[in-house]
Every structure is written in structure tokens, then in C-alpha cells.
Structure 1
Amino acid sequence: MTWADFWALIATLNGEATEESCHRLAEELSRRPVSDIIGFAERHAEALHRLDQEEFGTLPVIDMTPPGGRPFPQSADGFLYSRCAVVAAGRAVWESVFSDPGEFAPYTSTERDGEWLLYVPDEAYERATGKEWDHTTRYCYESYSNEDGWPDLRS
């Protein structure tokens, strides 16, 4: 799957990875060849992996302030869901955060959770084949897995 095809599919989310929009995307993807479902998963994993950087992951959650007023850090899962929300927002937003990390900040909100986007390939594959998804993508998208994005965490 080309990046253009991936971003065209992401555009069907209308900027947000809601449960409903992600089910619609999975339905659309399930009508395509299995190679497209795998291609979508690969592009999505790569897009998330590229966002897995310290400058984004150390931003505080914008709508949570604990007693004392100190910034509330993103959890590993929260950071993953924030990255999904950036991808769901579309290509222009995804590209903009690399030149201006401040553009990532609004996606650290608990209101902009993109978790549902993670399940699109699984659901599409299961709809298309009737089988459980067990594909491992080339890029790991789990938080802190991008060694280039977290140089201080290298072993």
C-alpha cells in the first residue's frame, strides 16, 4: 500500500478515531484484498513508530493537572493513543508535528484518544477472512520502541 493510499483511507475518519469511524474504516478495508489490509497495518505501524519520539512523549497531558499544579506525564498507553489521534487527524497534521512539536500537544488530551485506530487491521482481516489476525508488522509501534526517537533509552 502506498502512503497516498494509506492517507486516503485515514481521511475517511474525518479527523478522529472514534469507535464508529474506525468500524467504518475496517469495513471499507475488509472489502479490499488481504494484501491491502496488511499494507495498511504496515503503514500505520510505521507512522506510529516515527511519532515515537522523546519530544512528543514527554509532553504533559493537557487536560490533567494533579494537586500542586505540576504537569501530568503521558503514560505509555496514553502516548500510544495520542500518536493514534495524530495519525487519525490526517497527513497534514502528522507531517506538521515533525517541524513543530507543539502541534502534537493538543493530541495529548484525554478527549482525543485514538485507541480505536489500533484495531482497524484486526477487524478488517477478521471480516475479510473469518480468521484471527496474527500479523506482526515490521515496525513496532509500542511506546519507547523507536531507539532513534529516544536516544537516552538506548542500551
Structure 2
Amino acid sequence: MDENAFWQLIEDCRPAEPDPDAEVLAATLTERLAQSPLPLVIGFAEQLSWALYRLDRKEYGRDLSDDAFLYTRAAVVAAGRTEFDCVLQDPAAFTPYATALIWAEPLLYAPDQAYERITGEEWDRDTRYSYESCSNAEGWAD
């Protein structure tokens, strides 16, 4: 899955009504991914990890706990490509997510749940980029 396909899938699965915790988005993504070939699920997980990794920077997360920072970055991804690009261009655009504690934790589990539905096994996933907070050494360098 390339980056354009990733963002299109996010957009296609986003509900029309507000979904601040991304529960509907995550459920829809899980369902869609579970009906897809396994390589697509793996590709989605890779793109999700890459997007979260790119947001893993000191200017965004210095005042948040590791979990709060991860879930807030997920909320930016859940908001779609336009918002994601805006936040990458202007760190101040991240502030509303951090101050309002807008979290999208369920998004993190969508590929794992789809994998389990397809294979019947838990996924011991190891993506190229870690999405865990503070794993982007370049983003946290002084």
C-alpha cells in the first residue's frame, strides 16, 4: 500500500458525523481491512507507523505523557491527510489536539484486529518505523 492509498482508505472510512475518539473510523477500517488481502493489512500498518513516526517530534510532544502523545498523534492521522500535512508544516496546528486531549487510540489497533480476523492469530507486528513516543531520534534531537 502506498501513501496515497493509505490516505484514501482513511478518507473513505471516516464517518460523516464527528468521531472524536476515532471509534467509528477504527471499526470501519478494521472491517474493510479484514475483507482485504493480508499484504494490504500489512501495508496499512506500515503506512500508519510511518505517519505516526513523522509526527514523533519534540515540538509536538514535549509536554505530554508518552501515551497521551501517541494517542494525540493518532488523532491527527484520523483527521485525514490535509490536517496531517498542515500539522507537519506548522507545529502550532498540533496544539488544539494536545490541549483538548483529542485521542484516537482505537486507530492503532485496526490493522492488528484485521490481521487476527484474517489469520485467526494475534499479530506480533514489527513495522519498519516504531510509532511509540520518542522513537524518532531525529525528531527529538537537540
Q: TM-score, normalised to structure 2's length?
A: 0.91
Structure 2 residue aligned with 1:63: none
Cα deviation, 1:11-70, whole Å, max 9, x if unaligned, reads: 112474522321111000111110000000000000000100011112xxxxxxxxxxxx
Find the structure with the greater CA-based Rg. 1
Please, which of 21, 25, 29 is the counterpart of residue 25 of structure 1? Answer: 29
Aligned equivalents of 1:134 and 1:42: distance in 2? Answer: 13
Contact 1:48 1:87 in 2 (8 A): yes
| Structure 1 residue 128: Cα displacement | 1.4
Amino acid at match of 1:88: A
Structure 1, 16-25 or 92-101: larger mean CA deviation: 16-25
SS where residue 9 of structure 1 aligns?
helix
Structure with the higher helix share, 1 or 2: 2
Gaps of 5+ in 2: none
SS where residue 137 of structure 2 aligns?
coil
Structure 1 residue aligned with 2:4: 4
Q: Over aligned residue pairs, what C-alpha RMSD do you find?
A: 1.3
SS where residue 148 of structure 1 aligns?
helix
Cα deviation, 1:86-107, whole Å, max 9, x if unaligned, reads: 0000000111112111111111
Structure 2 residue aligned with 1:13: 14
Output aligned runs, 1:85-104, within 5 Å.
85-104=75-94
Contact 1:27 1:127 in 2 (8 A): no
Aligned equivalents of 2:26 and 2:77: distance in 1? Answer: 12
SS where residue 129 of structure 2 aligns?
coil
SS where residue 7 of structure 2 aligns?
helix
SS where residue 136 of structure 2 aligns?
coil
State the 4+ residue runs in structure 1 displaced beyond 6 angstroms: none
- Paired residue total: 137
